[in-house]
């Protein structure tokens, strides 16, 4: 099972549990994705889940997800992130 599929399953399970804990209704069924558009459809499913989390105000009931390995982050990527944040602040000013 690919990491994306595992991540999607974990998030779906956690959102379902959070919805049940606050007495919410069931979540929509998310089919197993296959084919050429699998990646795009999986991302759309995740966005659908996070829209539900936002609408039902479930974020406080979800676990915090963290990265186990940050070796891919280097000084250049941090600088790009910093610049992106600065640009966002300047655009909102």
φ, ψ for residue 70, nearest 5 deg: -110, 25
Residues 10-59 have pLDDT tens digits of 888 888 888 888 776 677 777 888 888 888 888 888 888 889 889 888 88
| Residue spans per domain, the chain | 3-92
Residue among 41, 47, 66, 50 nearest 18 (CA):
50
Q: What is the pTM of this model?
A: 0.59
Q: Under DSSP, is residue 33 helix (H, G, I), strand (E, B) or coil?
A: coil
Q: Under DSSP, is residue 23 helix (H, G, I), strand (E, B) or coil?
A: coil
φ, ψ for residue 15, nearest 5 deg: -70, -40
Q: What distance in Å separates the CA atoms of residue 24 and residue 3, rounded to the nearest whole number?
A: 28
């Amino acid at each position: 099972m690919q990491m994306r599929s595992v991540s999607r399953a974990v998030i779906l399970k956690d959102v379902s549990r959070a919805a049940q804990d606050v007495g919410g209704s069931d979540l929509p069924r998310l089919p197993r994705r296959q084919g050429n558009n699998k990646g795009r459809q999986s991302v759309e499913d995740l966005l659908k889940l996070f829209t539900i989390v936002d609408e039902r105000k479930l974020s406080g009931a979800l676990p915090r997800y963290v990265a186990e390995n940050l070796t891919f982050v280097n000084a250049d990527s941090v600088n790009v992130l910093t610049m992106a944040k600065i640009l966002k602040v300047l655009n909102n000013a």
